[in-house]
């Protein structure tokens, strides 16, 4: 009996488009979009069948946020001061909680090898997997971020800055997490290695994301922090999928 991953594949990897190498095909753009969409929808369907696993990072994020006011105390000034850092650290930990499984299931049932052996570039696989991870984990964190305003007594402008920062920064966390998952694929103590690799790379995102809220609280403009987060997102989106694709090919050998 075929595994869940194999049952939900679209048949795209087992029967790739004809016409030789994709780099020589005049329909390169259409093939890349088809492969990207196939992997993205496949991962979303798999998550829909394992709703508890998919909701675990979101539940962890909400519970962790709710515990800090209980431990620190009800002083509003203190809560507003620690809110940006707490929210971003919880978002990072929630991302690390889910990203470790990004490629393990596909490797165990052979789906990942099929994807990498297809004539399409492996960078598309990495980009699609990271996009699916953000839709399933990063986007829900942005949606529930207004709860931080309730837990930490944030003002409206500060909460808006926090949400905008998460919207720009959480895709970077998913991309870097995917790179770490690819580098540690099949290794012992992969979870600890993943944290050691990814967490230092995410420090600029946490600094600028929390700094945007601090700037708004101080009556300053957060445009500079948004620009830096946008630059990090653009640079990560252009470079990390390529590095992830190389790491996946090395790990699969």
Query: For 113-125, b where at least 16 C-beta lie within 10 A, e where not — what string?
Result: ebbbebbbbbbbb
What pLDDT sits at residue 198?
A: 92
Residue 64 makes CB contacts below 8 A (sequence gap 6+) with 90, 93, 94
User: What are 203-213's pLDDT values in tens digits?
Assistant: 999 999 999 99
Residue 164 tokens read as 């905008």
What pLDDT sits at residue 21?
A: 44
In whole angstroms, give the CA distance from residue 190 to residue 236.
22
User: What are 92-145's pLDDT values in tens digits?
Assistant: 999 998 888 888 878 877 778 887 777 778 898 899 999 999 999 999 999 999
Residue 41 tokens read as 């929808």
Averaged pLDDT for residues 20-48: 74
User: What are 151-180's pLDDT values in tens digits?
Assistant: 898 888 999 999 999 999 999 999 999 999
pTM: 0.84
Q: What is the mean pLDDT of the chain?
A: 84
Confidence class for position 229, pLDDT limits 50, 70, 90: very high
């Amino acid at each position: 009996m075929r595994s869940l991953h194999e049952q939900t594949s679209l048949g795209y990897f087992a029967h790739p488009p004809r016409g030789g190498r994709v780099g020589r095909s005049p329909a390169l753009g259409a093939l890349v979009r088809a492969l990207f969409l196939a992997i993205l929808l496949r991962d979303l369907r798999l998550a829909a069948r394992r709703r508890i696993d998919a909701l675990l990072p979101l539940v962890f994020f909400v519970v962790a946020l709710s515990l800090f006011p209980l431990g620190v105390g009800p002083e509003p000034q203190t809560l507003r001061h620690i809110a940006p850092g707490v929210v971003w650290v919880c978002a990072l930990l929630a991302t690390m909680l889910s990203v470790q499984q990004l490629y393990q299931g596909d490797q165990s049932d052979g789906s990942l090898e099929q994807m990498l052996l297809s004539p399409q570039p492996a960078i598309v696989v990495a980009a699609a997997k990271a996009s699916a991870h953000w839709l399933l984990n990063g986007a829900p964190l942005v949606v529930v971020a207004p709860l931080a305003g309730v837990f930490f007594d944030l003002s409206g402008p500060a909460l808006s800055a926090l949400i905008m920062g998460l919207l720009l920064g959480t895709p970077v966390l998913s991309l870097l997490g995917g790179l770490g998952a690819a580098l540690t694929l099949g290794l012992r103590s992969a979870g600890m290695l993943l944290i050691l690799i990814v967490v230092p790379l995410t420090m600029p995102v946490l600094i600028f994301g929390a700094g945007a809220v601090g700037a708004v609280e101080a009556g300053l403009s957060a445009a500079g922090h948004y620009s830096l987060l946008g630059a990090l997102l653009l640079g990560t989106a252009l470079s990390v999928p390529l590095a992830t694709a190389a790491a996946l090919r090395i790990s699969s050998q």
